Amino acid sequence: MSDEGHEHHGAGHEKAPSRQRRRFPGISSRAYEHPADRSALVALRKLSGFDTVFKALSGLLPERSLRLLFLSDSVRVSDQQFAHLNDMLRDACHILDLEKVPPMYVNQDPQPNAMCIGLDEPIIVVTTGLVELLDEEEMRAVVGHEVGHALSGHAVYRTILLFLTNLAIRVAWIPLGNLAIMAIVTALREWFRKSELSADRAGLLVGQDLKASMRGLMKIAGGNHLHEMNVDAFLQQAEEYEASGDLRDSVLKILNVLPRTHPFSTVRAAELKKWAESRDHQRIMDGHYPRRGEDKDTSVTDSFRESAAHYATSVKSSKDPLMKLVSDIAGGAGDLGGRVRRGFGGFGGPAPSDDAPPRNGSNGTEGTGGADGTDGPTETPPRDAT
């Protein structure tokens, strides 16, 4: 397994280096979960009978149909089929100490994609587009990403999102019914995006090769043109994305990300690099991490406190203009009215200076243009664009 490395490789894949990787016996998914993801999962796990209820609802979802579809019209990974992927899957489960190896299927689809679905027994699906795009070590990180989803139990809890989006369609005719459900869906999508960051960390724990993880995210963003891309430049894009523009751009960023279930690729790369350089990651690599046997004793209050502290720190350290404004408001900064006007300057022409007299007999304020970032619900199951 992981202690000896593997020599298997397929057409179009670089040969995986034979090297030792650390194992994490009994590791709890709390070790790598993003604080927002962890707090939601801890709270849900504390709800007695929660899993039972949603498994009972599985008849309303296309899970059984999807299982049959993949079994009948995809290739199941095994020692006889896609053996190199089978080795990676068993290796990932060995490293994260996942006792039951989930089935994996390769589905014919040119779009690079992967997902972990299933309530009773999770299954992993990867597309041919992804298999052909990534080399051996990049693919190892992806398989670890999906195994991380399985270990966290994301497949069960993500079912809520699919169920509610389908429900929103059915109650769209009820006044305010769809609006109320979509408000919950929007909040769930925020957690969904954070769960992807958690799975990225699991992928790094399995692959233990940050460069390979970075390459995989770059390829997902820009295709199989590594000779034309640069990791440092790619990460610079994430920094520019966060810091660039004014308050208008901050609002547009929010509207762009609201309908998405995954963070943008550059953001994922930057977040993963930051975590890889953190003390939390180093402690795990040194063998100091929470164990699965301790999960039942985890405090919901402490988890939410950690999540709140994380968001507070993120706001304070963010270079985004809107986050800076929020931080200043929290800190009691003065002249916020002037800062807001300057931040939105340009929507309808230059913002007036603080000393300028009111124009056209108005009270001195000007309207700002809006942006419609709405996006209707979809019935397709959440797919993991890894």
Active site residues: 146
Q: How far is the CA of 356 from the CAs of 64, 342, 350, 365, 382, in angstroms? A: 66, 13, 12, 11, 51
Please report, for the chain, how many H helices and E strands are present, in that order: 17, 4
Q: Tell me the sheet residues that pair with 124.
A: 104, 116
- In angstroms, the CA 225 to CA 157 distance is 36
Exposure on the CB side of residue 17, measured as CA atoms within 13 A: 9
| 3-state helix, strand and coil shares in percent for the chain, rounded to the nearest 5 | 60, 5, 40
Q: How far is the CA of 139 from the CAs of 22, 145, 151, 178, 212, in angstroms? A: 18, 10, 18, 39, 9
Under 8 Å between Cβ of 79 and 111: no
Strand order through the sheet with 75-76? 75-76, 104-107, 123-127, 114-117
Residue matched to tokens 């164990």: 291
Under 8 Å between Cβ of 30 and 306: no
